[in-house]
Amino acid sequence: MAILLVPSQFASIAAAVAAATAGDTIHLEAGYAGNEAATVTVGNLVVDGPSSVANVTLTLAAGVSSITLTGGANIDVRGNGGPNSITGNAGDNDLRGNAGNDTLNGGGPVGVAADDDWADYAGAGGAVKVTLTDISNGHTGGFSTGADGNDTLVDIENLRGGDFADTLTGNAENNHLRGGAGADTLIGGGHTGGGEAGASGDWADYRGASGSVRVTLTDGTGGPTGGFSTGADGADTLIDIQFSSSPRPECF
Ligand SMILES: [Ca+2]
Ligand SMILES: [Ca+2]
Ligand SMILES: [Ca+2]
C-alpha cells in the first residue's frame, strides 16, 4: 500500500502507475501540471489530488476492474469491456464505464456546484436508457440498460448518451442531459407540480452538435412541459426541460 508522489517522486501519473502495485495510492501534489491521459494497469488504485488538477483522463486497462479517486482533482475515467467499479471524488468527474455492468459513483455531495459529475455513454454500440433517481440515504441513485450494460449510478448529476436513440432521464436535482446524435428522449425529471430546488433546472445540452440545432420548448398543459429539437443532433423529444444548450464550461 505504497504512496507514490507525483511529481516529486514520479514525473507523471503514467510513470507512477508503472511503479505501482495493486492497492497503492498515487498522490498528485500541488506542482502536478495535469493535462495527462494515462492507462491504469494495476487494480484497486487510489488517485488522490487537489482541485487544481484538471484535464486528466485515466483509462482502465483490460483486466483492471476498479479505481477510486479521492480529494478534489478533476479527473475523468474510462472503463474497459468488463465490469468496472469507478468511484469519483469531490471534483468534476466524467465517468464512462463502457461495456460491462459497471458501477459509476460520482463521489462528493449531491447539490454542490463544485462537484458536477457525468455518466458518459459516448461510444456505446447502440441505444442506452439511463435513469437517475432521487436522494435516498444521502445519495442519489440511477441505472442504465441497453448497449453499454446494466450500470449502477451513484451521485451522478448529468448524463451523456451516444450516437443512437437514447433515453436520458434526470431526477429532482439540476441535470444536464446531452443526447448526442440520434433521436433522443431527454426527460429532466423532478418538475411535476412546480419548480425544482435550486436556481437552474434541467438542461438539454447540444454542445457537441456538428451543426446548427433548433430547439423548441412547449408549455405543459396540465402536465410536464414538452419540446423538440431538429438539426444536426437528431430529432429529440424534450420533457420537463427548462433550458437548452449550456454555457457551463464543465459541459463539453
Ligand atoms: Ca466497463
Ligand atoms: Ca465528483
Ligand atoms: Ca431534474
H or E stretch covering 19: helix 13-19
| 222 — pLDDT class (breaks 50, 70, 90) | confident
Q: How does pLDDT run across 128-140, given as a tens digit for each residue? A: 999 999 989 889 9
Q: If you measure from the C-alpha of residue 157 to the centroid of ligand 2, how many angstroms do you get, rounded to a whole number?
A: 9
State the pLDDT at residue 192.
47
Q: Which ligand is nearest to the CA of 110?
A: 2
Widest pairwise Cα distance in the chain: 62
Q: If you measure from the C-alpha of residue 98 to the centroid of ligand 1, how many angstroms do you get, rounded to a whole number?
A: 4
Q: Which ligand is nearest to the CA of 174?
A: 3
**How many Å apart are CA 7 and CA 36, to the nearest integer?**
13
**How does DSSP assign 174-185, residue by residue?**
--EEE--SS--E
Q: Choose between 119 and 197: higher pLDDT.
A: 119
Helix, strand or coil for residue 16? helix
Q: If you measure from the C-alpha of residue 94 to the centroid of ligand 2, how many angstroms do you get, rounded to a whole number?
A: 8
Ligand 3 ion: nearby residues, β-carbon < 5 Å = 170, 175, 188-190, 202
Contact at 8 Å (CB) between 186 and 177?
yes
Q: If you measure from the C-alpha of residue 191 to the centroid of ligand 3, how many angstroms do you get, rounded to a whole number?
A: 7
Q: If you measure from the C-alpha of residue 179 to the centroid of ligand 3, how many angstroms do you get, rounded to a whole number?
A: 15
**How many Å apart are CA 48 and CA 92, to the nearest integer?**
13
Q: What cell does 154 get?
A: 451513484
Q: If you measure from the C-alpha of residue 173 to the centroid of ligand 3, how many angstroms do you get, rounded to a whole number?
A: 5
Q: What are the distances in angstroms from CA 237 to CA 100, 172, 220, 233? A: 28, 19, 14, 12
Q: What is the DSSP letter of 23?
A: T
Contact at 8 Å (CB) between 210 and 158?
no
Q: How does pLDDT run across 54-94, given as a tens digit for each residue? A: 999 999 999 999 999 999 999 999 999 999 999 999 999 99
Q: If you measure from the C-alpha of residue 73 to the centroid of ligand 2, how many angstroms do you get, rounded to a whole number?
A: 9
Q: What cell does 163 get?
A: 450516437
Q: What cell does 226 get?
A: 414538452
Q: Which ligand is nearest to the CA of 186?
A: 3
Helix, strand or coil for residue 187? strand
